[in-house]
Structure 1
Amino acid sequence: MKQNPHFQDADAFYEQLLDAHAGLSREEAELFNARLILLLANQVGEARVLKECIDAARQLPPTTA
């Protein structure tokens, strides 16, 4: 699993992600996120790497809003 930044343009991706959520209800945004996660997971493909990503994400501290 890659843990160092690997984005070609992280700022552009973040902007695209924000734009994709514009005008969505919370439920629609959650469904969009689920679809996006599945599409990205399909790009990764390897079960071991996906498990490592899940484990790493669970270890990150929660954000406060």
Structure 2
Amino acid sequence: MTLSTDSNFARPDDAFRAIVEAHRGLSEAQSADLDAALVLILANHIGDIGVLREAIALAKRRMVTADQQQQQQQ
């Protein structure tokens, strides 16, 4: 299995909204805990260590890119 980066949702805005709503009213610590739990649940659902590693690498690259863009704007 390879990592799919295309949207698999018929209505991606609904998926985004569901995640945002799940965080509503939570403290920063509770929000971080929710994110961690969600990541672990979905990683288990995927069940493929290769795909998980690929997703981790992609997420890290995106964080670095976002940090670099933010520094350039300052």
Question: TM-score scaled by structure 1?
Answer: 0.87
The runs of at least 4 consecutive aligned structure 1 residues that moved more than 4 Å come to none
Who is 2:41 aligned against? 39
Who is 2:11 aligned against? 9
* Separation in structure 2 between the aligned mates of residue 6 and residue 18 of structure 1, nearest angstrom: 18
32-41 vs 1-10, which deviates more?
A: 1-10
Asked which structure has the greater CA Rg, the reply is: 2
Count, aligned residues: 64
Q: Which of 54, 57, 62 is the equivalent residue of 2:66?
A: 62
C-alpha root-mean-square deviation of aligned residues, in Å? 1.3
54-63 vs 43-52, which deviates more?
A: 54-63
The residue type equivalent to 2:8 in the other structure is: H
The structure that is helix-richer by fraction is 2
* Separation in structure 2 between the aligned mates of residue 36 and residue 18 of structure 1, nearest angstrom: 13
Question: TM-score scaled by structure 2?
Answer: 0.78
